[in-house]
Amino acid sequence: MSDTHQKRSPEPSRLVLADGRVFRGWALGASGVVTGEVCFTTGMSGYQEVLTDPSYHGQIVTMTAPEMGNTGVNAEDDEAARPALSGFVIRRSSPRTSSWRAEMDLDSYLRERGVVAIEGVETRTLTRHIRDQGAQMAALGTEDVATLHDRAKAAASLEGRDLASEVSTPESYEWSEGLGVWDPEPSVAADPSTRPHVVAVDYGVKRSILRCLVASGARVTVVPAQTSAADILALSPDGVFLSNGPGDPSAVGYGVSCVEELLGKRPLFGICLGQQILALALGGRSYKLKFGHRGLNQPVKDLATGKVEVTTQNHGFAVDVESLAGRCTMSHVHLNDDTCEGIEHAESGAFGVQYHPEASAGPHDARYLFSRFMQRIEASRA
């Protein structure tokens, strides 16, 4: 498919940071003014997955690659029912959409989904500023600079805010869709009633994670973030999955309490926010990173095997590994800054990783972790 779309007449727009730095460009997507924590992601592809990843809730996301929209968008690649991020910042939107899977161009998608965006920004300069000064609140829109600056300064920080409950499903549901034609090694179809039952706690789960669980052989039930341990156990799960999600893990106290009660009763596997909640349930602490890890090319070392994996990541908080001394071990480490990327709790068998093994978008180096979870479930059922 090849299609050139008609762009609107450009309207000046601005991104104004709380520290007063101004970045100018042209309005893209929906009209309006938004605030959020400005951050950047280094992926050269996967912009649709970024737009619909609930982990970006409350953030204005900057894409560092110079052009977005080349391959358009399609319904299949949405990671949630609607975008959760606050705003979208790019250098340039492609004037041409070219992909056999494309159903819509990027600007039309942003307008239809209500995403306020800006193009024409010097994203390299913005990225360097965030790396030097740290992630901070910002305002984006067509208002004057002074008004936007006031909005940015008044915006509430992500620290201490429970954002997971704002993106979680309001009610439980069954998920049965696997990876389909995208699965290089499809699992043998089995009677769903004989498959291990995994309850996935939704703190902002991506659809691709649920597909990977199904592809690994699980029967999946998704439950709201605030579901109690008693209600989860009443569903007779063989394992419990703790999903990714946005914001500060220390604000998700109900999740920590739930996991404390589940430890040792069922195999547990956490990803991203799920790992952080697991760490807090084990008595550890979390802290905010200066500008976070976001992108498709993050190097992580498996300390058990020495193998280095290229991973997909999206998080602004991390686990304080020293706070877990004597409680559990660090299984994976980020090679750029030595931060904790995985934990193992020997006593209960619970484990988690800070990165995204479903890799949508991104490399598939870490998809084996879903099989590891299923193996632990099978061992516990024996």
Q: Measured between alpha carbons, how far is 372 from 304 in angstroms, rounded to an integer?
A: 14
Of 81, 4, 42, 6, nearest in space to 313 by CA: 42
185 given a catalytic annotation: no
DSSP state of 137: E
358 given a catalytic annotation: yes
| Residue 191: alpha-carbon gap to chain centroid | 31
272 given a catalytic annotation: yes
Of 283, 279, 329, 277, nearest in space to 303 by CA: 329
Residue 242, helix vs strand vs coil:
strand
Of 234, 11, 191, nearest in space to 119 by CA: 11
Where on the phi/psi map is residue 295: left (φ > 0), alpha (ψ -120 to 50), or beta? left
What residue has token string 């000046």?
A: 12
User: What is the dihedral angle through the alpha carbons of 28, 29, 34, 35, rounded to the nearest 10 degrees?
Assistant: -70
Residue 39, helix vs strand vs coil:
strand
Catalytic residue among 258, 272, 328, 340: 272
Residues labelled catalytic: 272, 356, 358
